[in-house]
Amino acid sequence: MRTIDIILHPAFLGSVGAIAAVLGLALFLTRHNTRKALATRAAGVPSAVADEATRVLTSQETAAKVGKRPPARGLPAMPSIPRPSMAMPSMARPAGARSGGNGPGSRLGAERGPLGAVGAEGLASPAAVFSEASTLHGPKVTFADVAGLDEAIEELREVKEYLADPERFRALGAELPKGILLCGHPGNGKTLLAKALAGEAGVPFYFVSASSFVEQYVGLGAARIRSLFEQAKARDEPAIVFIDELDAIGVKRSGGGNGEREFDHTLNQLLVELDGFASSSGVLILGATNRPELLDPALVRPGRFDRRIHIDRPDFAGRLAILRLYAGRRPMSRQVDWDEIASQTTGLSGAELANIVNEASLLAARRHRTKITAEEVEEAVARVSGGARSSRLIPEDEKRLIAYHEAGHALLSLLLKNVKLPPRVSIVPRASSSTKSAWSFGDDRTTLTKRELMAQLIVLLGGRASEVATFGEPSTRSEDDLDDAAKLARKMVERWAMTGRFELAGRDEDAVTRSRTESRSEPAVAKLLSQAEQAARSILRDNAARLVAVAEHLVHSETLTVAEMARVAGLPDPAAERVVEQPDLVPPAVASASVARIHG
């Protein structure tokens, strides 16, 4: 039978008609149940809100014309999946102000997309037809909740005083900066500072992530930016607009195609809106980014972002203030030495320091203690720095190799000057995801000499040198040490010209130039690393008995503090600056055999 005969057969046509009828009935019932569910949920809300929601569901074409992506048909049946909120209204809303309703923000959301708020006071729309405008949840944050950022707080306190009393500044001709850019490494308090400024100033605060403006539909990101700024300028009062992760839309324009035009449109609209603010409007733009070097020069020029505040990692005083701030909210033992903890956590961000205190609280609760002791705090520092303890069993041979590797690092750090000592040395395995060597620690100084940098290189390569001197060959334990040592040596050659190669100094991000520079600098880098390893081997050879004593003690004890390392090696305690007698901590036979291996 031919295909045409099968298609025209009455039985086949009847089957197709029945299937079409069932699908049509299912579609009708689905739409009917959707409308019925929406009407049921809207029964307890103002009629204007329910009518508006129904209108949007039945008028997808009208919504698309104003640049809003039509909501999924099944979305009203799933109230637990809200649409993302693009703009957030004031944290400190004036008394009697509504959350949406008939205000300008509500109309804006209905006409332009998910930027306005719809609903009565205290109402959350269950149908998720509109993106409900929300505030920053949680307790009010002020400058008292921020520690270790005194310079940045002083800069923002001036802005807070201007917003509170603008006439005092205007009488002297002072104008409010149009924009302030907060930049720095992640976890150092940029977003926390913005929240604290909003809490101190008591003015409307609009919070939005720049990634919310990134869309694949041309024109949608620009429309959302227009809506955000129109909402901020709608009131005749000062306000703060905080755009987090500004580099998501402020990256340098390349002028290419392949989907980049939408990013350019969004950035151009942001530039236009920033120029549209008058200094007397009282609207302040706060931006935050971890990568300021990626921002378009037109965005960060004066007149748009007039002031740049760099949020750096805290120094010793800042770390101490942060630790005490978070510890003051918890029952802490008086035996905890926060000065010592602050000296051990060089290079950590404010978020990591807060995590140390929280990890200590969790450990104390796990052990059913009423107070957090120094033991929990020290374990928390080790967890944040190196990860949680691993349950993997280490064979005896591997354990001894790790002990000699770590003893090489530790002994060189005790013998060399201008090297920051670690709080402790341990061979306990930890499930760390960090790719940074545990011996690649710095200090709070920003100016280092070549002698001090060479000492750091010698310590970094001390573990490998100890392995070669003791066992005759290196191991994979030195991977992170070699990586950090190579990076440091390359900086010494290319960036700081410490080998006399001035033609290699200076930064150039061009890939071709960078590759040529690296090819010319590799011999000098290799020479520095070779010199550092030879120096490490020579020092360890001259102190073979001390190396064996520290390593064998690590095999048995697994963890040594700085004072214990100095006592085992027969060296002055770096903290007490005193000399103790060298104890006989290992059996003479073991010490003699190990020394023979080193010299042999």
Is there a domain that residue 92 lies in? no
pTM for the model: 0.59
Is there a domain that residue 81 lies in? no
In this structure, are 475 and 519 located in the same domain? yes
Q: Which of 386, 406, 423 marks a domain boundary?
A: 386
Confidence at residue 368, expressed as pLDDT on a 0 to 100 scale: 92
Task: Per residue of the chain (600 residues), give pLDDT as tens.
Answer: 677 777 777 887 888 888 888 888 888 888 777 777 766 665 666 666 556 655 655 554 433 333 334 444 443 433 433 444 433 333 333 333 333 333 433 333 333 333 333 333 333 332 222 233 334 455 678 888 898 888 888 888 888 888 888 888 888 888 888 888 999 888 888 888 888 888 888 777 888 888 777 765 666 777 888 888 777 777 667 778 888 888 888 888 765 555 456 667 788 888 888 876 655 566 788 899 988 888 888 888 888 888 888 888 888 889 999 999 999 989 999 989 998 888 888 778 899 999 999 999 999 999 999 999 999 998 888 888 766 555 566 788 888 999 999 999 999 999 998 787 777 788 877 655 444 566 765 566 778 899 999 999 999 999 999 999 999 999 998 888 999 999 999 889 888 888 887 777 766 555 545 565 667 788 889 999 999 999 999 999 999 999 999 999 998 888 888 888 899 998 887 765 433 333 343 444 444 445 444 544
3-state helix, strand, coil in the chain (%, to 5): 55, 5, 40
Q: Which of 386, 409, 426 marks a domain boundary?
A: 386
- Domain of 333 in residue numbering reads as 316-386
Q: Strand, helix or coil at 217?
A: coil
CB 135 within 8 A of CB 88: yes
Confidence at residue 83, expressed as pLDDT on a 0 to 100 scale: 40
Distance between CA 560 and CA 546 in Å, rounded? 14
Confidence at residue 114, expressed as pLDDT on a 0 to 100 scale: 35
For 378-387, b/e burial (b = at least 16 CB within 10 A) is bbbbbbbbbe
Query: Is 260 marked active-site?
Result: no
Distance between CA 456 and CA 448 in Å, rounded? 11
In this structure, are 302 and 320 located in the same domain? no
In this structure, are 359 and 266 located in the same domain? no
Is there a domain that residue 300 lies in? yes
In this structure, are 276 and 354 located in the same domain? no
Distance between CA 566 and CA 549 in Å, rounded? 11
Which residues does residue 289 pair with via DSSP β-bridges, in sequence order?
A: 183
In this structure, are 253 and 345 located in the same domain? no
Confidence at residue 459, expressed as pLDDT on a 0 to 100 scale: 93
Q: Strand, helix or coil at 113?
A: coil
Counting the structural domains of the chain, the total is 3
Q: Which of 253, 276, 311 marks a domain boundary?
A: 311
Confidence at residue 118, expressed as pLDDT on a 0 to 100 scale: 33
In this structure, are 463 and 541 located in the same domain? yes
Confidence at residue 38, expressed as pLDDT on a 0 to 100 scale: 63
Confidence at residue 128, expressed as pLDDT on a 0 to 100 scale: 29
Q: Strand, helix or coil at 460?
A: helix
- What single-letter amino acid sits at 394? I
Q: Give CA angle at 442 (504, 364), nearest 5°.
A: 150
Is there a domain that residue 401 lies in? yes
Tokens representing residue 268 in the block: 């151009």
Q: Which of 406, 467, 533, 552 is catalytic?
A: 406
